[in-house]
Amino acid sequence: MARPRPSESRTTGATARGGWFTARRRAATERRDDDAGVPGTPPAPRRARLTLAGEAAAEAARAQVADEPEFPAPGDARAAAFFDLDNTVMQGAAIFHLGRGLYKRKFFRKRELVKFAWQQAYFRLAGAEHAGHMQDARDSALSIVRGHDVAELTAIGEEIYDEYMAGRIWPGTRALAQAHLDAGQRVWLVTAAPVETARIVARRLGLTGALGTVAETVDGVYTGRLVGEPLHGPAKALAVRALAEAEDLDLARCAAYSDSANDIPLLSLVGHPYAINPDSKLRAHAREMGWRLRDYRTGRKAVRVGVPAAAGAGAVAGGAMAAFALQRRRR
């Protein structure tokens, strides 16, 4: 192979010693000489300062990107992600979609469907959970399933997912969950929805599993009562802490995602809390705490995002859906 000429060796060595910034500065000097006669071009001393400022800013930006740790961290077996379901992973509340599907199969009467529809409308318009409405929906669901076989309702739940839930999964949040899976981390849903429904959603999305509200059964038949309390608010944090201990997870390396201020105990438990489609109270708290935010309902991108770029498509889709809904409401 031919040896480089002495002048080439000196140039190569200078570039290697000075790096990208040195090479760019030399090229910029040549450009300044070429542009000196162009009308409107600043005087040479100022051009030099402007060029230096621009290139220094570019180099600092590159260094900042290089210094940021990759998230989620690949291969971290002690890290995991926990996702709320209602209005975080899926638009609306799972229990309302479940009620709609059960009505279609004549599990209850029309007036009870109207009640479910009102609760769902309230949830979507308010964009937040209301304890009274959630309690009413839970009581209605328990009364409806009382006396029914668990296997029967699980099979029906699979059908209801296809009919009413699959099309309401937020693509952006789905991308976040997939990023954790691609990094080799485990991902759980954590929801107040019935655990049977939560497991169906988790399995259909390829997640690790789900934590949900457990309804009491005797000999495979629902009694119409709960085991303990619904998995809501502080109960979620307790469940995740117990799971972390059992699975040898380091919560400081884990992430949690939710839309509701009710889940502040859960979000505060992990090292990487995210507010997704947040209600007003959670949005304010997240900003105060410096938590990352992402809103797929409008496509708005919060200042502190720090989430994988793959979620961008979800923001666009969410914005289109919100615009269509607002248009219909204004007619």
> Residue 246: which residues within 8 A CB-CB, separation 6 or more?
none
Closest by alpha carbon to 25, among 9, 48, 45, 5?
A: 48
Cα–Cα distance measured from residue 257 to residue 274, given in angstroms and rounded to the nearest whole number: 5
Tokens of 36: 């000196």
Catalytic residue of the set 67, 86, 279, 295:
86
Task: Give Cα separations from 122 to 16, 45, 204, 276, 299 (angstroms).
Answer: 63, 64, 27, 19, 22
Strands across the sheet containing 272-276? 209-213, 186-194, 80-83, 255-258, 272-276, 292-294
**What are the respective helix, strand and coil percentages of the chain, to the nearest 5?**
60, 15, 25
Tell how far CA 80 is from the center of its chain.
Answer: 13
Closest by alpha carbon to 94, among 209, 229, 194?
A: 194
- Respond yes or no: is residue 84 known to be catalytic: yes
| Secondary structure of residue 80 in the 3-state scheme | strand
Q: How does DSSP classify residue 19?
A: H
Q: In sequence order, what DSSP letters do the residues of 122-136 get, joined into one string?
A: HHHHH-S--HHHHHH
- Respond yes or no: is residue 76 known to be catalytic: no
Q: How, if at all, do strands 272-276 and 255-258 pair?
A: parallel
Tokens of 84: 């709320």
| Burial (Cβ within 10 Å: 0-12, 13-18, ≥19) of residue 310 | middle
> Residue 279: which residues within 8 A CB-CB, separation 6 or more?
126, 127, 128, 129, 259, 260, 261
Catalytic residue of the set 84, 263, 279, 295:
84
Residues catalogued as catalytic? 84, 86
